[in-house]
Structure 1
Amino acid sequence: MPAALSAFWLLLAAAFLAALLLELLPALRGGPRPGLFQDLIRYGKTKSGCEQRPAWLRLLDVPKRWFSHFYILSVVWNGFLLLLLIQALFLARPFPIWLQDLLSALGGASQNQDVGDKHLSALLVLMLLWLHSFRRLIECLCISVFSSGVLHIVQYCFGLGYYIVIGLTVLCRVPANVSNGEDFFMQICWYHTLGIMMYIWASVHQHRCHVILANLRKSKSGKVVNLSHSIPFGGWFERVSCPHYFAELLIYVSMAITFGFQNFTWWLVVMYVLFNQALAAVLCHEFYVNRFSCYPTHRKAFIPFLF
């Protein structure tokens, strides 16, 4: 188990759980919450709904449309890692020395460790991660309509770092000198099929959510007519305020399934995604409820019927 990476993801999950609890439990708030804290957990419309922010905090804003930078980086970086993994598995080319040293420092699998069907699992998960980033990039560039919303520069830098570390987390399951292309596809198991099917299902629904949100600002001809916020209807929006966040969680769960349920570090990633997306959903739900008096009362924030 990659101890360093496991500790990293556990720490992140704990930090976002603490932030979520501070938002959910009034007894923990103990009075006004610090402006910097709110600035670091809010972005886009949830940040604009805050009280007047100090000028020095506004100096640290970057446009929310820069979200596309996360996916550009992920497509390039994780695509590069995917290429190296394919070469290692099918062409018997070992990882570059710098990557071997980096993975070793992060607690990756030893070169002689027998990891069985985890070679195929790692390849599939890295492919799914790359496809997810590519789809989100296309959606950001061609579908989504961004308003003048902003995010904190720390959030921006965190997002860039996240997509670098997430790919390395996948590769840490693969010995640096492994090559077993001859019997590679004999490793296919039922959980690979289940994970991929769940990934496709969740991705389709997330895409539909993003289309619904974008169409709120477009005419029937597809022309952008406003940048205001409206109540979304249709699809999973009938049950929760942020179904695209719920779909994001399901996508990461599908990758955990593709790993065969046994990758403890990846389950910590799932835990981080759970608390991260739950926090964002709570803030978004709060924004909708406060802004629209006619907002559907039966909608949950994040998980249908539960939360």
Structure 2
Amino acid sequence: MNLWLVGLLRAAWIAGSLPILIASVPSSRLFWFRDALLGFAKRGKTLQSSSKRFTVPQRFFRHFYWVAVVWTTILLGSTWMYAYYTAPLVSEPLLYSDMSSYLTGGSHILSWSKSHAASTKQRFMIWRSVFLLLLMEVQVLRRLVETIYVFNYSPSARMHILGYLTGLFFYTAAPLSLSCNCIPEVYEFLVSEVAEFIVRGKNQMPAIEIHLWEFVNPLMKLGWCQWIGAAIFCWGWIHQQRCHSILGSLRDYMEQVDEYLIPHGDWFESVSSPHYLAEIVIYAGVVVASGGADLTIWLLFAFVVANLVFAAAETHRWYLRKFDNYPSNRLAVIPFLY
């Protein structure tokens, strides 16, 4: 099941990224494909169409984050409980069969070392998944709050139905990609617990005891990659919150004057879509926190970059068409590069 799930997720991220990469190739033969893909990706101000066919209100954006919060919370809670009960990160004493075996490096010691290393690696991987899901939970909770209280979407703002479905897919597959290496074991753990509850009944089940420090302490024992990744994540998270606040305040003003304004402040001084740049930084932090050795998470990151850079380029072109006085020093999404 594990290989099947990992393979499916990797195939999905590749399938999602390839059309964007193909559409980004500067070839006149591919303009039709690029225009078709842009039609699916446009929303809000970049979707200039009087027809509502195959579109949904842009306020449906919050559906992404309701799904993300519920799904990520389920995965986080399940994985955390599994890690707490089955994979404690504790130092185990080295046991020797006898002194001669220790001095000569006998097969018994070698066998123990290999099994111990594998066990420790598995435990670390499980707690790392908990850590990554915790970062994801922080992100999607804030995005949900923003869609409810910060972004006041216009009743006329629309998004293509395929873009809507892509968003639902992303926020289902992304949390799963962060924990796919241990999800089968977590699932089996939950099934066994539910089966035991059904067989034994509520009154016969042992009392669940959770010691808060033991519940959190293993996260403190993770490596430097996790904490550097978390720092990068927080850097992007803070700037995205600031940029969304700027956009939210502009939308309130635009409702009064009925016109678009050029946003200013924070990373808006460098790029047209700093909230997309911040999202890229956020997921770069996730890659670092994962240790950088998980291909599934790299493919998730590749999809995020391809999707947001593609969307940011169209947003940048819209700004240039809309405003004659648009700041010439601003690029689309990557400072000094693009």
TM (norm. structure 2) is 0.75
| 1:52-201 equivalence runs, <5 A | 55=51, 58-92=52-86, 114-147=121-154, 148-174=156-182, 176-177=184-185, 184-185=218-219, 187-201=221-235
Distance in 2 separating the partners of 1:186 and 1:138: 28
Paired residue for 2:333, among 299, 302, 307? 302
One-letter amino acid matched to 1:40: F
Q: Give yes or no for contact 1:217–1:228 (8 Å, CA) kept in 2.
A: no
* Cα drift, residue 248 of structure 1: 0.4
Q: Give yes or no for contact 2:23–2:33 (8 Å, CA) kept in 1.
A: no
Distance in 2 separating the partners of 1:165 and 1:77: 10
Distance in 1 separating the partners of 2:316 and 2:157: 17
Higher helix share: 2
* Aligned equivalent of 1:232: 263
Aligned length: 277
Distance in 2 separating the partners of 1:34 and 1:127: 36
Distance in 1 separating the partners of 2:138 and 2:173: 17
* Aligned equivalent of 1:293: 324
Distance in 2 separating the partners of 1:182 and 1:252: 23
Distance in 2 separating the partners of 1:177 and 1:113: 16
* Aligned equivalent of 2:47: 47
Paired residue for 1:255, among 276, 283, 286? 286
- Deviation by residue 1:17-75 (Cα, 9 ceiling, x = unmatched): 12233xxx253445x66875442121111112xxx56x4xx221111111111001100
* Aligned equivalent of 1:104: none
* Aligned equivalent of 1:106: none
* Aligned equivalent of 1:281: 312
SS of structure 2 residue aligned to 1:157: helix
SS of structure 2 residue aligned to 1:232: coil
* Cα drift, residue 137 of structure 1: 0.7
* Aligned equivalent of 1:9: 13
Aligned pair in 2 of structure 1 residues 173, 231: CA closer, same or farther (>3 Å)?
Answer: same
Distance in 2 separating the partners of 1:112 and 1:177: 14
* Aligned equivalent of 1:108: none
Distance in 2 separating the partners of 1:67 and 1:236: 23
Q: Give yes or no for contact 1:65–1:146 (8 Å, CA) kept in 2.
A: yes
Deviates more, 1:139-148 or 1:241-250: 139-148
One-letter amino acid matched to 1:243: P
Structure 1 unmatched runs, 5+: 94-110
One-letter amino acid matched to 1:89: A
Runs of 4+ more than 3 Å apart: 32-38, 111-116, 175-187
One-letter amino acid matched to 1:91: Y
- Deviation by residue 1:120-174 (Cα, 9 ceiling, x = unmatched): 2211111111111110011111111222221111211221122111122122122
Distance in 1 separating the partners of 2:270 and 2:15: 31
TM (norm. structure 1) is 0.82
Distance in 2 separating the partners of 1:268 and 1:254: 14
Distance in 2 separating the partners of 1:226 and 1:206: 26
Distance in 1 separating the partners of 2:266 and 2:308: 19
One-letter amino acid matched to 1:252: Y
Paired residue for 1:18, among 19, 22, 44? 22
Distance in 2 separating the partners of 1:155 and 1:185: 36
Distance in 2 separating the partners of 1:256 and 1:59: 38
Query: What is the root-mean-square deviation in Å for CA atoms of aligned residues?
Result: 2.7
Distance in 1 separating the partners of 2:171 and 2:120: 26
Distance in 1 separating the partners of 2:319 and 2:134: 35
Aligned pair in 2 of structure 1 residues 28, 115: CA closer, same or farther (>3 Å)?
Answer: farther
One-letter amino acid matched to 2:320: V
Aligned pair in 2 of structure 1 residues 226, 64: CA closer, same or farther (>3 Å)?
Answer: farther
Aligned pair in 2 of structure 1 residues 195, 208: CA closer, same or farther (>3 Å)?
Answer: same
